[in-house]
Structure 1
Amino acid sequence: MAINLASKFSDKVAERFTQRSLTDAYAGKSYDFSGVKSIKIYSVDSVPVGDYTRSGSTRFGSLTELGDTVQEMTMTQDKSFTFSVDAGNDAEQLNIKQVTKRLRMNWDEQATPLIDKYRFSKWMNGAGLVTAESADLTKANIVEKVMDGTAAMSNKLVPLTNRTLFIKESLYIKVKLASEIVGIDKLGGKSVGNGVVGELDGMKIVRVPDVYFPAGVNFFIKYKNATVDPMKLKTLRVQRDPVGIDGDVAECRFMHDAFVIGTKANGLYVDVAAASAQANPVIAKSSSTWTITSANATSIKYTTDGTDPKTSGTAQTYSEALSGLASGTVIKAYAAKTGMLNSGVTEFTV
């Protein structure tokens, strides 16, 4: 005689793992996009200092009008998702699909990592300082490599405060036991954000899943105000029994973006495997011309007005040697290749 054992569905849902945003606390929010899609940011030029002359009509030096540059930022990311929960299905599935809770869970599971990954990609590809490593980082040299990064930023006059170290999960274990690390248990009453696991040289350390970083990136140091990261619209709502549906409809729409401020690009430092990053350009003088090279680059962009070629509206695509440049002209260039992290910015003064 057959015995048919009973079974049933549990009313407990097996939730997927999620985590809060790893970037929100460190995103730049100094500029307001309310009511507009684009903003323009002025940067005012400076003039060099010379010797005072005690006679003549140019005692303070040659008079020139103070110039400026403009960087335009236009938001492009307009995202959304929606789903329905039919009343009949809900009634016959132990009412497990609580639509308000599912809406929040979908934000955490889908939208939050999408925003974090987008920000990391934009920040790192716009970084002014990129170091390509020919060998894997080790427990013996990881802290020194991080300190090399902070020194590079300091040499570019980046403020010592508001720096954060983001390190990929698979590399974090190599720094965890370093004596220079201040553990989370020793931070006392300090305010710490999501993912913070300690401090190094005054920087909070945030451990990040490997898949959130562009391929090959080991760690990333960010000065908070080097970027503009607007979240202009964030709508999460539930419609109860809308026309045509017996049940609930969840809707979400959010508009966001991430921009690197050209004059502050050196506030972003990336350490990456050489195989995953385009080599920094080499600018060299040959007779009365200047060449810019980077092996296997798809394109090289440059400026001769001192602006950041990654963000400047005056950036040009390099195609032949430059000529006719006046003494004191600053050439800045970066190289790119599809599938690779953008190079850092190389500077050369004529």
Structure 2
Amino acid sequence: MQVTPLIWLITIGVTILFFVYEFFAHVRKPHEPGIAESARWSAFYIILAVLFGVGIGVVSGWTFGGEYFAGYLTEKALSIDNLFVFLIVMTGFAVPKMYQQKVLMIGIIIALILRGAFIAIGAGLIENFSWIFYIFGALLLVLAYRQAFGGHDSNRANGKFMGLVRRVLPVTNEYHGDRLTVKKGGTRFITPMLLTIIAIGFVDLIFAVDSIPAIYGLTSEAYIVFTANAFALMGLRQLFFLIGGLLERLIYLAQGLAVILAFIGVKLVFHALHVNELPFINGGKPLLWVPEIPIGFSLLFIGSTIAVATLASLLKTRRTAERDNPRLPDGAAAVDGVAVGEALESAEYDGDQTSSGRS
């Protein structure tokens, strides 16, 4: 895939312009976005990402187009997992909803910068050291296990990190609008808003370790890696407000992501064996009999895994809700214990009235 420095400059410039526009058009004035606004902009960025992928397929061939779509789906799924941790962080710091947009925007920008750095490092390593595929593959298999059975390890790490920050820096207990610092009695304090941004930046660093080796397992083209990440992060702020309630229902998302990471880890190891140069493996010769997993199968597998994890999560939470909130005899669903109690009291009252009438 031929990507000139001019195309790189234009791509990075347009990406920056999108974020600048988002800041001045939506984030600068604190407010909580409505469902309509969030849905409209989420759809816009998804359609834009799809059109870009079609453009890559038409211009550079559908092998690269398939790599882009597989990478985009993987990064989007990992970004939704990112959102779940963002939600935990902002809930823990009790960020007012009208200021959450600003926190998300800064967090997403930090994520893109960190991923850009990792992309550059990864591209250099892959170009000069083919054995790095073994390391990336092994790392993804470990991360897949931790994703499936370790929960959100980033939460515990983040808690220790923020404890250290609080001990080192003077912090106010209350928010001062969306200000990051405030002066009190001649001393400069940082606000919980800045603490939240620091926490999200730390989480971004952890998630970059997951996402970059994962997408390099699908493509070796740095341009595809960057654009798939950029499009996955674009619209993430709006998606947060659009599916905020849905995030807690995606109970099998971690397991779905674990399957995807494990699959890409195996794919990377297969590729490493196929281009092997390590002298202690097959005498430094490639193992050509090892299969290379085609990008078409990868795209199908990743898309199917995301769909199954989402559907299973929604069905499970729906069954749980129906079990915890059984329907009343008259067909009305009991929302909580109060509704059940009120219904029973009403039934008892009607019974007493009937008994009185008979007597």
> Is the shorter-chain TM-score for this pair beyond 0.5, marking a shared fold?
no
TM range (shorter): under 0.3
Larger relative CO (CA 8 A, sep 6+): 1 or 2?
A: 2
Q: Considering fraction of residues, name the structure with more helix.
A: 2
What is the TM-score with the length of structure 1 in the denominator? 0.23
Q: Considering fraction of residues, name the structure with more strand.
A: 1
